[in-house]
């Protein structure tokens, strides 16, 4: 009995941690909440008779990520991009193109040399020019050398719903830079969360399939918007209260079991 009650305490404690993390990230851009997965633990018995099996407590497996769409928040930023539908932005650390990360957080910036990066400095991958086969670091030049040897400075950036990037130099000279890429997975909820709204693929999620927005099953880009977290605070608070009550109830049962055992030993 003690081991069963202990397993219940551990399971409720872990669920409390998951709920607390959801609430803490309710205002994080494109955060995807997690839910606890409880599982029964049974004793091993050679018999096929169900009555021979006895419960040994409760366990909790790895939290399951909920990839439901978050609401959009208008920002007006040229490189604030939200994905509506399926897909993740592929980003890399330095030149580690073979080990990309994936994120739904589209709050991007441009460095002094024109590289498109995330808020924490990861390079955003996409297609330059008309190329659609090779992923490269997206670079939007901040200046353009004209044929008359003058230099035009970038004045605006437009990102279409299909990910196409158009830069405006000077007053009205438009140049097509390329397009943002998206990645999809057979099992998106199976991705490994790494923090900072980043994920990495594994055996559960499958390998990434790359493409451009609005092509096939890929979603579209909403420029000037950011995706909000898909956390419902009211729902999370209800879950937290239920978990606290369950933890408190199991604690009282455990204390009663300890007291009974102690009296039996002393007696």
**Which residue range(s) make up the domain with 110?**
72-227
Q: Tell me whether residue 138 is in a domain.
A: yes
177 and 81 together in one domain: yes
Q: Tell me whether residue 56 is in a domain.
A: no
User: What's the confidence (pLDDT) of residue 62?
Assistant: 75
Q: For residues 168 and 92, what is the distance between their CA atoms, to the nearest angstrom?
A: 27
Q: For residues 222 and 228, what is the distance between their CA atoms, to the nearest angstrom?
A: 13
The per-residue pLDDT for range 153-212, each reduced to its tens digit, is 999 999 999 999 999 998 889 999 999 999 999 999 999 999 888 999 999 999 999 999
Specify the number of domains making up the chain.
Answer: 2
Confidence of residue 48 (pLDDT cuts 50, 70, 90): low
Residue 24 CA, distance from chain mean position: 15
Residue 3 has pLDDT above 90, yes or no: no
User: What's the confidence (pLDDT) of residue 47?
Assistant: 53
Q: Using the structure block, give the residue that is written with the tokens 């008359």.
A: 148
| Residues whose CB is less than 8 angstroms from the CB of residue 202 and which lie 6 or more positions away in sequence, other chains included | 190, 191, 192
174 and 267 together in one domain: no
Residue 251 has pLDDT above 90, yes or no: no
94 and 215 together in one domain: yes
105 and 220 together in one domain: yes
Confidence of residue 1 (pLDDT cuts 50, 70, 90): low
220 and 113 together in one domain: yes
Q: Tell me whether residue 109 is in a domain.
A: yes
Contact 257, 4 (CB under 8 A): no
167 and 101 together in one domain: yes
Q: Tell me whether residue 267 is in a domain.
A: yes
187 and 87 together in one domain: yes
pTM score, whole prediction: 0.82
Burial class (CB in 10 A: 0-12, 13-18, 19+), 44: exposed
Contact 19, 257 (CB under 8 A): no
Q: Tell me whether residue 48 is in a domain.
A: no
Confidence of residue 133 (pLDDT cuts 50, 70, 90): confident
User: What's the confidence (pLDDT) of residue 158?
Assistant: 96
């Amino acid at each position: 009995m003690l081991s069963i009650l202990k397993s219940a305490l551990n399971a409720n404690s872990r669920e409390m941690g998951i709920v607390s993390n959801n609430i803490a990230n309710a205002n994080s851009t494109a955060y995807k909440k997690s839910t606890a997965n409880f599982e029964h633990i049974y004793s091993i018995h050679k018999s096929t008779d169900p009555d021979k099996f006895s419960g040994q407590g409760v366990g909790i497996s790895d939290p399951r990520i909920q990839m439901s769409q978050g609401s959009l928040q208008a920002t007006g930023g040229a490189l604030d991009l939200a994905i509506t539908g399926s897909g993740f932005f592929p980003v890399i650390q330095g030149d580690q193109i073979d080990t990309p990360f994936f994120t739904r957080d589209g709050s991007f910036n441009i460095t002094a040399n024109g590289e498109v990066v995330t808020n924490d400095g990861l390079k955003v991958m996409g297609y330059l020019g008309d190329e659609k086969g090779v992923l490269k670091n997206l670079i939007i030049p901040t200046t353009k050398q004209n044929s008359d040897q003058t230099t035009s400075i970038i004045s605006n950036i437009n990102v279409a719903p299909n990910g196409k990037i158009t830069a405006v130099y000077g007053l009205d000279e438009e140049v097509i830079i390329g397009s943002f890429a998206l990645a999809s997975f057979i099992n998106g909820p199976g991705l490994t969360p790494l923090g900072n709204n980043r994920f990495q693929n594994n055996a559960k999620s499958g390998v990434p399939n790359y493409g451009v927005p609005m092509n096939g099953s890929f979603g579209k880009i909403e420029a000037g918007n950011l995706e909000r977290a898909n956390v419902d605070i009211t729902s999370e608070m209800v879950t937290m209260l239920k978990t606290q009550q369950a933890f408190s109830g199991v604690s009282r049962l455990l204390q009663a079991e300890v007291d009974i055992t102690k009296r039996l030993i002393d007696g």
